């Protein structure tokens, strides 16, 4: 896994599932992070090969609830991101997925109360010894690259010092979100503070924050000196942001996302959530399209809404033949 000069899809809860990761890759993303999944949840799962879909599924034991789904097509670029606050539990969870992904990443930047109250995400930023324990445990016991994603600390020098400590654990790369824990998405990313980190480290630094056009990738590289650049909201709004040929109409992107959700049998709640995020940026959920998405109960409903009924029937018939 090479982390230099890469365009990276950021980890996004309920968005970064298999269809969206493949969508981003289709348009040019080199590395695609899955949504953060908590270690407690993964260790209650088992690995299953899904012959009908051609996927590997991490499924809650005793159920058909798919927690993480991947496929050979993304094997060399998908990063499994995990939320954790315990080294041995992190290892136990990572061992379940590591054979099917390109790398494992530890979330050390999520500012949401759920993560922080559980000692995960941004709560780790103030616990460098625990960070060291988690990362070194994963590094020593797994054959895949280990990385982590942090936020900026209150003092820029503290961020640099933490980044240096992280580098000493032997991680392959460090992603830095250019905002601090109290910051909101509307607050501008502090690229100059990411630049301080990039200048201090020898491992690749992945800069994250305020990337909304393809040209921003190079602009952020130039300003920060980072090896690679990661995008979140800009990719949700139009995943073709990764294309060097320019964005394609978001209507086409939505339809392609729906097709991929059908093909990979994506969870309907996840699919609706992502569509609503797309719609909210360009339009309103109170308009006919948004209301129709909200009312949709199945992928078949969404196929009808976006004019993909024939594709839905084709995929469904193909699966029926495989099963019989």
Residues 6 or more apart in contact with residue 100 via CB below 8 angstroms: 47, 56, 70, 75
Quickly list DSSP for 203-268.
S-EEEES---SHHHHHHHHHHH--SEEEESHHHHH-GGGG-TT-PPPHHHHHHHHHHHHHHTT--H
Residue 110 among the catalytic residues = yes
- How far is Cα 88 from Cα 248, in angstroms, rounded to an integer? 45
- How far is Cα 1 from Cα 191, in angstroms, rounded to an integer? 25
Question: Can you read off the two tokens belonging to residue 20?
Answer: 């969206």
In this structure, are residues 27 and 236 in contact, taking their beta carbons and an 8 Å threshold? no
For 40, 44, 120, 311, the CA distances from 84, given in Å and listed in that order, are 8, 14, 5, 40
Count H helices, E strands: the chain?
14, 12
**Closest to 53 measured CA to CA, from 197, 198, 266:** 266
- How far is Cα 166 from Cα 163, in angstroms, rounded to an integer? 5
Question: Can you read off the two tokens belonging to residue 265?
Answer: 């049998």
In this structure, are residues 231 and 206 in contact, taking their beta carbons and an 8 Å threshold? no
45, 71, 98, 110: the catalytic one is 110
Catalytic residues: 110
């Amino acid at each position: 896994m090479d982390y230099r000069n890469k365009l990276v899809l950021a980890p996004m809860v309920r968005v970064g599932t298999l269809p969206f990761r493949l969508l981003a890759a289709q348009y040019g993303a080199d590395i695609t992070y899955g949504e953060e999944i908590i270690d407690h949840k993964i260790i209650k799962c088992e690995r299953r090969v899904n012959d009908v879909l051609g996927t590997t599924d991490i499924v809650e034991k005793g159920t058909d609830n798919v927690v993480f789904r991947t496929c050979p097509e993304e094997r060399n670029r998908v990063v499994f991101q995990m939320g954790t606050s315990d080294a041995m539990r992190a290892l136990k969870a990572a061992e379940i997925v590591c054979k099917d992904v390109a790398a494992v990443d530890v979330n050390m930047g999520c500012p949401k109360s759920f993560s922080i109250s559980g000692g995960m995400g941004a709560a780790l930023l103030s616990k460098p010894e625990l960070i060291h324990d988690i990362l070194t445990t994963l590094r020593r016991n797994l054959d895949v690259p280990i990385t982590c994603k942090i936020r900026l600390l209150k003092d820029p020098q503290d961020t640099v010092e933490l980044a240096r400590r992280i580098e000493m654990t032997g991680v392959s790369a460090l992603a830095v979100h250019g905002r601090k824990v109290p910051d909101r998405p509307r607050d501008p990313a502090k690229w100059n503070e990411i630049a301080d980190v990039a200048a201090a480290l020898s491992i690749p630094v992945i800069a994250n924050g305020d990337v909304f056009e393809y040209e921003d990738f190079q602009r952020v590289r130039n300003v920060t000196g980072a090896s690679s650049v990661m995008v979140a909201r800009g990719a949700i709004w139009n995943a073709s942001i990764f294309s060097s040929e320019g964005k394609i109409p978001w209507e086409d992107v939505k339809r392609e996302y729906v097709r991929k959700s059908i093909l990979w049998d994506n969870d309907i709640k996840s699919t609706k959530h992502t569509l609503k995020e797309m719609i909210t940026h360009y339009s309103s959920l109170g308009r006919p399209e948004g209301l129709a998405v909200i009312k949709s109960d199945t992928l078949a409903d969404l196929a009808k809404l976006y004019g993909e009924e024939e594709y839905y029937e084709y995929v469904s018939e193909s699966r029926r033949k495989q099963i019989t």
